[in-house]
Each structure stands twice: as structure tokens, then as C-alpha cells.
Amino acid sequence: MVVSSTRYKAQPESLVKEGSFKLSHNKHTEGNLRKVRNYVETCEEIGGSEFLWNQWCEGMANRYPKHFSNADAVSFLHTDAILGIN
């Protein structure tokens, strides 16, 4: 899935190296806190959680068109699973 945003000029792949956000397991370290801060800042630079969620839902709908009619159907399924809407 390619993420693009009017607020974000470069592709996300150019932001960080693979594994840059991987945390040391079960450790509260300064390095882990730095990675968490970097992750949050990167998400905000790309366009924020709503933008990323919408992009992910659209990507899943495109990848699995037999299962999802559109991105809203993907979003609803997850909301229903978490909140038990039905």
C-alpha cells in the first residue's frame, strides 16, 4: 500500500529504515521511549491516525474485493468486532 498525503511530500519508506520502531521486548529503556516518540511523530507527519486508518481500510478493500465492497465495509467490520455493534 502506498501512502501519500498533501501534508507529506515523501513516501513513508524514505522516512525510516525497516525495524526502526522495533522495541526491546519488555524493557523500559530510553531507546524504546525514543523509538515510540519517533513513531508517533512519523505517523503525524504522514497525516495522522485517521489518514493512516483510511488508507489501510482502502488498501484492504482493494486487496480483498470479494470480501469488502469498499473501505467503509472494512472499517465497519473492525468497529463491529471491537465494539460489538451488531
pLDDT at 81: 87
Place of cell 489518514: 51
pTM of the model: 0.62
Task: Please report whether residue 45 resides in a domain.
Answer: yes
Residue at 35 is within a domain: yes
Domain count along the chain: 1
10-residue mean pLDDT profile of the chain (86 residues): values are 45 62 82 91 92 94 96 92 78
Alpha helical stretches, state H, the chain: 30-46, 48-63, 71-83
Per the structure, the complete domain to which residue 49 belongs is given by 12-83
pLDDT value at position 57?
95
CA distance 58 to 61: 5
Query: Which pLDDT belongs to residue 22?
Result: 84
Residue 1 within a domain: no
The per-residue pLDDT for 63 is 97
| Residue 75 lies inside a defined structural domain of this protein | yes
Residue 7 inside a domain? The answer is no
Report if residue 18 sits inside a domain.
yes
Q: Is residue 54 part of a domain?
A: yes
Residue 14: per-residue pLDDT: 54
Is 71 domain-assigned? yes
What is the structure's pLDDT at 11?
52
